[in-house]
Amino acid sequence: MENVKLIYTGFVEAVNWVALLVGVASGMAVAFGRVYAERLTARYYGLAPQLLFKHRDVIVPFLVLAGAANIYAVWITVAYGGISAWRLSALIGMALVLAAQIIQLNVALRPSKKDLELALASCVAYVYLFALYVVALATGRYSLWLF
């Protein structure tokens, strides 16, 4: 019971809930946009959206999750000085997150057959941040912004 409580409090303290909730809300807005755009396109072709967009079952939750991840990544980068210190690694991270958000908006508002690939490409930002993190841990550096 003590351990559960410890894990719980650790989890509560480690996560910035404001950033997370704002991110989830914006992600859900983008996901609803996607659903609406799918409907419009399907009506245009006179087909059911499920037939036209095979991956909508993954893309819609992905948009919610990615929206939350984008906002959270911005919070990580800004709140802990990566931007104010003008670290190149932080600036690259921000640029990648921005690019990911643009790609995801594109995926949401202009559904196409390339959805899966585009969504995967937008994940470069998250992989980049995680790679920084792993390298920082491995080299014993106490900063995410390695260069």
Rounded to a whole number of angstroms, the minimum distance from the CB of residue 45 to other proteins is 22
Contacts for 24 with CB less than 8 Å, ≥ 6 apart: 64, 67, 68
The Cβ-side half-sphere exposure at 137, using a 13 Å CA radius, reads 6
Binder among 30, 73, 103, 108 for other proteins (CB under 8 A)? 73
User: Please, are residues 70 and 100 in contact by the beta-carbon 8 Å criterion?
Assistant: yes
x/- track of binding to other proteins for residues 8-37 (CB under 8 A): --xx-xxxx---x-----------------
Is residue 116 within the footprint of other proteins (CB under 8 A)? yes
The sign of the CA dihedral 117, 121, 126, 129 is: positive
User: Please, are residues 70 and 20 in contact by the beta-carbon 8 Å criterion?
Assistant: no
Rounded to a whole number of angstroms, the minimum distance from the CB of residue 125 to other proteins is 9
List the beta strands (DSSP E) in 6-125.
none
Is residue 49 within the footprint of other proteins (CB under 8 A)? no
Give CA torsion, residues 80, 82, 83, 88, to 10 deg.
-170
Closest to other proteins by CB, 12 or 48: 12
Is residue 53 within the footprint of other proteins (CB under 8 A)? no
State the residues that interact with other proteins by CB under 8 A.
Answer: 10-11, 13-16, 20, 55, 58-59, 61-62, 65-66, 68-69, 72-73, 76, 79-82, 84-85, 87, 90, 116-117, 119-120, 123, 126-127, 129-130, 133, 136-137, 140-145
